[in-house]
Structure 1
Amino acid sequence: MPHAPTRPAAAWRQRFQRHNSRWTAGNSLKLLENGEEFFPAVNQAIQSAQREVVLETFILFEDKVGAALQEALLDAAGRGVDVHVLVDGYGSYELSRGFIAKLIQAGVKFRVFDPGQKVMGKRINVLRRMHRKIVVVDGELAFIGGINYGADHLADFGPTAKQDYATAIRGPVVQRIREFVFRAIGESPREDNRNLGRDAQPAGDVETLFVTRDNHRHRNDIERHYQAALRTARERVIIANAYFFPGYRFIRALRRAALRGVDVRLILQGEPDMPIVKTAAKLLYDHLLRAGVKIYEYCDRPLHGKVALVDDQWATIGSSNLDPLSLSLNLEANIVVRDRAFNATLHENLDRLMKHSCTPVVPEPEGRWHGLRLVRSYCVFHVLRWFPTWAGWLPRHKPTIALARVQAEDGGTVDEETAARAAAT
């Protein structure tokens, strides 16, 4: 039966309620490209954990990547580490009972965000998903990005392997991230870990901002930070985003930046994992190109990244796409960075993509269909203007976070009692 959070958990959430507007100094960040860099770093961190691991992801597949992660989590739990896992009920619906049971029996607290029932074999809980990808280890190390746990993020997966990014973070901001993820799962840390990471020493000189999006208090925070950076851009803007179909204000900010002489470049999907993604983005091409925005289609394989940089200092990386789902419906998390070195590293990476793996989009010449393209662009532009309002009309419900359980042979359960709680976000 659903029940209210215990007083300690409620007190924990109230104590650490944060706004997405506070910069934290003294951090270090390392850019991780694709699963080849991300998965070994995460697994090694979990294998080295001494006291606590908290992991949340949209997708966890039961393949070689999922098996390696499961092994690392089992090993940590077996050493007495307090392990929490949260997956999305839509994105990770294919996980077998055996895969989950093995984790639970080892002591892992395995939760599912909004587990839904299939109707005629189809998932219907499509909207308002938990789309974040966060890991926090011992309150000292965090990972944030767009990479899910699946073999399709490795190059040996083949032509449909995804191009994506994440970052490893150390420093005081890790504690903010940790406080958030515990609040999100409706839980408080284990008693002996309550103050873990509280007195973290500076790990570098990078200023960071942990920004989230939810359907309650922080509905447009990630988009707002993007727009603020675009308004102040003076030299360059590079955005690499898998699913690009933002709202009116975002498109306007891009156009205005380009019109005042900023070098604005978009890296979008040329070989999309879902064809409709490219079709939707192309509806915006003419309107953006006419303002001077340069568009590059990444054609090596599907682009899944969600990164951006502005001028020589500002950058962001995380789970948020620039489409209606991420900007108006899903639960997302990004890290925003003010640091020249990180900006330069990301710029070098994206510049390499544009030079060697992208096809520049050339404006279509004026012709018999030019007027029709202008009308189409005008209509799309103003449809986007009202999308945030329309999003509020879409079906909504109160998502739950369910603590998974396994049926034992004697009819009892081998884990804690299932706890369905209203999602904190």
Structure 2
Amino acid sequence: MPTEKRSSKKLQLAKWLGGGVLVFLIGGLGFLYLRGFFRQEVEYKITNAPSVEEPRFPLLVVSLSNALTTSGRFTDFWTGADAIYAARLDAIRNAKRTIRFETYYMTPGRRADEFAQALIERSQAGVQVQLLIDNFGTGSIPNEYWQRLRQAGIEVRLFRNFDWRAPLEYNSRTHRKLLLIDGERVFIGGAGVSDSWDGDPEIGDRAPWLEFEVSYSGPIVSILEGNFIQNWAYAGGTVDLAQQVVQALPEEETKLYVTNDTSTLSESTIRMLFQVSFLAARQRIWIGSPYFVPDSNTRNVLIQAKNKGVDVRILTMGQKNDKPIVRFASRELYGELLAAGIQVCEYQPSMMHAKLALIDDDWVSTGSANFDPRSYHHNDELNVSTRNPQLISKIGSLFEQAQAESQCLSQQEWENRPLTEKILGRVGLIVKPLL
């Protein structure tokens, strides 16, 4: 082949490769642009926040975070996979009329099989069973699993299927974990339906994941049933508003505040809930979150509280975790927190997956929300906040026990972290809305 022809072909190939790379870069930047990666983060200040003891504090939570005020009874509290799954299965097996379950995460295994069997038994006994399952978080479950449930009379809806006509919407998921029994009892926590919560050898766990679940009864159940029905409708389900679905029950003594965060790039009711709560603290702010990637507003509020003498502690995941890139991104943000004297403690025995915000001795918020952009702006989340002293005591004890099994970082340890971790952390922060 003549030299000129070979040179011409090489030049043509180089042009094709260069063009392909250029198209890829333009497409990637276009995607980031459409997702709002380049928008400027709005910074704002909140001043003169009342303490959590003041009567007007709950009113501010309701008005600023669009929370719903209701009431109910705190009925039970479980820690660890065995206790949580046993409580769920017991409630399912004793259901008389309805079972409604919404979750983000499921994987094949023993826990999923036990869950399916319990649901099938109640469905065949005449109980109405509705499952609202996130399409992305349950992607490893085979279709045969869902077919088996449907054949038993169980209604299964997948939340936010991929749609080529609106592909960017697929990044917004439902992250809730909500189990409703007979319109009388609700279970709220962070656990999916997966053997991972028993401990995952692939990430080095030597114990079950750090996790808890809370149950309530009373009027709050009707509120949360309505939240479930809303997403059920958006997933294409039939909504039957018969009287037994959402019941008007007499108000009870314990006030509960439900913050229902839905996907939006510019606003976040969950973030506002946390920030108002932190500014109200006078003695302590204890935070539990596996995926702790707070924005500058949240970091500034925590530092402000610490400077006022508040005991600020953060409990998060350590080396045993299911998302290393999130941990590296999170660690990039520790510097100013550690410099302010805030304790940042990484849980050592296993993956830490519990989510909580404990304020003084008078306020606690638990549910599905993490302190990261995904929970703030991309996921449907659900948190319940309350002054209930029993729950506050249990959450406080759980936190102290977990911190005793954690490594609390020093400023020097953070500064001396490996260079590769620093690089991965910077990369993680660039793509943090996708983590």
Name the Cα RMSD after superposition: 3.1
Q: TM-score, normalised by structure 2?
A: 0.75
* Residues in 1 aligned to 2:351 and 2:170: alpha-carbon distance in whole angstroms: 22
Q: Assess if the C-alpha contact under 8 Å between 1:268 and 1:297 holds in 2.
A: yes
1:171-206 alpha-carbon deviations (Å, 9 max, x no partner):
111110001101111045546x5334614456x743
Tell me which residue corresponds to 1:261. Answer: 309
Q: Is the 8 A contact 1:313 1:340 kept in 2?
A: yes
SS in 1 for 2:305: helix
Alpha-carbon displacement from aligned partner over 1:150-185 (angstroms, at most 9, x marks no partner): 011125878434222221111111110001101111
Cα offset, 1:86, TM superposition: 1.0
Question: What residue in structure 1 maps to residue 341 of structure 2?
Answer: 292
Cα deviation code 1:101-140 (max 9, x no counterpart): 111011111011123389xxxx998611111111111111
Counterpart code for 1:224: M
5+ long unaligned stretches in structure 1: 1-18, 395-425
Match in the other structure for 1:240: 288
Structure showing greater Rg: 2
In 2, the alpha carbon distance for the partners of 1:185 and 1:295 equals 38
One-letter amino acid of the counterpart of residue 226, structure 1: F
1:221-240 matches, within 5 Å, as: 221-240=269-288
Count how many residue pairs are aligned between Structure 1 and Structure 2.
355
Q: Which of 351, 366, 370 is 1:302 aligned to? A: 351
- Equivalent residues in 2 for 1:318-329, closer than 5 Å: 318-329=367-378
Choose between structure 1 and 2: higher helix proportion. 2
C-alpha separation between the residues in 2 aligned to 1:110 and 1:288?
Answer: 44
CA contact 2:262–2:379 (8 Å) conserved in 1: yes
Report deviation, 1:330: 1.2
- State how 1:331-410 maps to structure 2 within 5 Å: 331-355=380-404, 357-364=405-412
Structure-2 residue corresponding to 1:182: 229
Most deviating of 210-219 and 327-336 = 210-219
Query: C-alpha separation between the residues in 1 aligned to 2:177 and 2:200?
Result: 22
Alignment of 1:15-414 (within 5 A): 20-116=66-162, 127-155=171-199, 159-160=204-205, 161-186=208-233, 187=237, 190=240, 193-196=242-245, 198-200=247-249, 205-215=253-263, 219-271=267-319, 272-355=321-404, 357-364=405-412
The offset of 1:364, in angstroms, is: 1.4
Q: Are the counterparts in 2 of residues 29 and 342 from structure 1 also a CA contact under 8 Å?
A: no
Please tell me whether the aligned partners of residues 142 and 174 of structure 1 are also in contact (alpha carbons under 8 angstroms).
yes
- How far apart are 1:222 and its partner, in Å? 1.3
Question: Which letter does structure 1 place at the counterpart of 2:131?
Answer: V
The SS at the match of 2:68 is: coil
Higher relative contact order structure (alpha carbons within 8 Å, sequence separation ≥ 6): 1
1:346-401 CA distance string (max 9 Å, x none): 0011101112x10111111899x99xx9xx9xx98xx98x99xx96xx9xxxxxxx
Q: Secondary structure at the match of 1:364?
A: helix
Q: Supply the distance in 2 between the matched residues of 1:189 and 1:141 (Cα, whole angstroms).
A: 20
